[in-house]
Structure 1
Amino acid sequence: MAEMMKGNIAIAEAAVRAGVRLYAGYPITPSSEIMEYLSWRLPEVGGAFVQAESELAGINMVYGGSSCGVRVLTASSGPGISLKQEGISVLSDEELPALVINVVRYGNGLGTLFSSQCDYLRETRGGGNGDYRCIVLCPSSIQEAVDMVSTAYELGEKYRVVVVMMTEGALGQMMEPVTLPEFQEPKRNYWGFDGKYSYKKIGIFDRDSKKEAVELNKKYAEIKANEQRWEEEGIEDADYVFVAYGVPGRSTLGAIRELRAEGHKVGLIRPITAWPFPEKAFEHINKNVKGIITVEANATGQLVDDAALFTKKVLRADIPVYALPFVYGVPPIREIKAKFAQILAGEIKEVY
């Protein structure tokens, strides 16, 4: 039965029901409700909650928990996620799964508290040192985020990678009807420390990094082949295809439906995985498409780079790619439509 829940609270409860038994982190708006909720909820189910002294300490506690084979979680936003990058790089190097929730807020440096999508490039490229990738999931509703939690752990454990759920301040703070999943029995993964087993990869000297790189590339290729996820609508005959993810993907869907009703042939690709990017969706686009348009809640246009890359790779044509960056917040339907009119009038030029 559905109940009204705030996004952060629903995600936290979904994690408990997915068998998470360790949360370690440090509070930061707009993600703090996840931590606050789990501070009393995890002890109720026999789990452990640690408010670390810093984000750095928190991610390294998560590393320790994952090395023991349990499902672990941390959450933060903006600069907090930046501080966790070395730990995420280490988790990736040791091939240990974890779920990292980034409730994205806008801005450079310490930033602001506005909902945003300005962390796209960091999350999809791997924000720490080294050669690694994280699976990046981008829900557009609270229900989708709740359903993704279990999927995130299944993917992380299958491929032994870190999974980032990239939500936004708006999604974390808004309320919607949610149906929560059933409880899963907590499990201990086979690689967990048992007092006898130790990692052969720890250290930097006695390793065959070239051999490891071959295996990593094989794994990432498998993820790209099998785990692309997206939603599409109207792209098979569209003159213009919008690409938008997360909550802006919802308002963009509303815009294309209104534009369709007004006689414009437009469609939408909503990436559900930002990495691996859903390049297979581009195979379904009308071969005579006139343009690709990204709608983004950031200032510089970041999603547009991937949209252009796979437009050129898959469609193999000189198709203009436009970016509509709305800086922060959720782009309103009327503004998306107004900017589309500017594209048609030649007032907004392509980025690629």
Structure 2
Amino acid sequence: MSKPIIGITMGDAAGVGPEIIVKALQHEEVLSICRPVVIGDAKSIQRAIEQTGAAFTIHTVSSTAECEFKPGVIDCFDLDLLPADLMQGEVSAVAGDAAFQFIKKAVELAQAGELQGVCTAPLNKEALHKGGHLYPGHTEIFAELTDTQNYSMMLSSPKLKVIHLTTHVGLRKAIDNITPERTLTVLRLAHDTLTRAGYDRPRIAVCGINPHAGENGLFGEGEEEEKLIPGINQAIEEGINASGPYPADTLFYRAVRGDFDIVIACYHDQGHVPIKVLGLEEGVNITVGLKGGFIRTSVDHGTAFDIAGKNLADERSMLAALASAVELSPK
């Protein structure tokens, strides 16, 4: 089986994106598991090479067919959107717009079948907005560019995978947004994503909304029975290996122990906290359900403007994001 081609978008060039890409590509393990190509700005990558002291040359390409995929070479789609003297560590409209254009190019390549996965370096939301792109983050950009309505955020670490029913909304609205249909949709997304990645009947557990998953009506107002259980039952009828809802305070322990392959969290913090407790440097943010069948993964940290250009950024999350892109890319 050939190694998947993974596009790496550079993110906001005023941050640590170029640096962590260069540092990650220095690891021999990357070329052993995938064929990476950078989508960004060659000048910014060259500056990161010089700042890190890495021994790379840049090979600009216009299609993945031109890529060399060999040690000592960074294959790069150079969109040439940034000035050579772009200030690092500062919010910039031009960098925000460029970060969006890198993503747009990656989506075009993925939908054309040139990429099996996309791995994204971090963008800065303020810069993104100043550049004219009013999105909360990567997930919503990918969803719109691929015309995808049914998608979800997945978080992954070596010991735990979590997928969310809701993400960037307040808690009251999150509960309102949970419906049996949404529960079923996310169960299908979890099942399909892990099945395509080679899991045999992935074991999917659903968190309860209330303490102790409602404890038969003792807590809450019947949200589990109204919003979760009908979706779970329908998934089971479709042959999906789903169960729950379970109390969240013990479910994540059980998943880490190996009882389940993935957990469905009902709202943002319910899913994010256990992943981040297990280690920020190993957490990966993933968008699943995108039209075109490709997977998108991301580092689980920001642009770190305070250390940009100082050769202090840690590439471990980028390495983890690349590994997850390979693991979850269609087989």
Q: Which of 1 and 2 has higher RCO (CA within 8 Å, sep 6+)?
A: 2
In the superposition, the TM-score normalised over structure 2's length comes to 0.29
In the superposition, the TM-score normalised over structure 1's length comes to 0.28
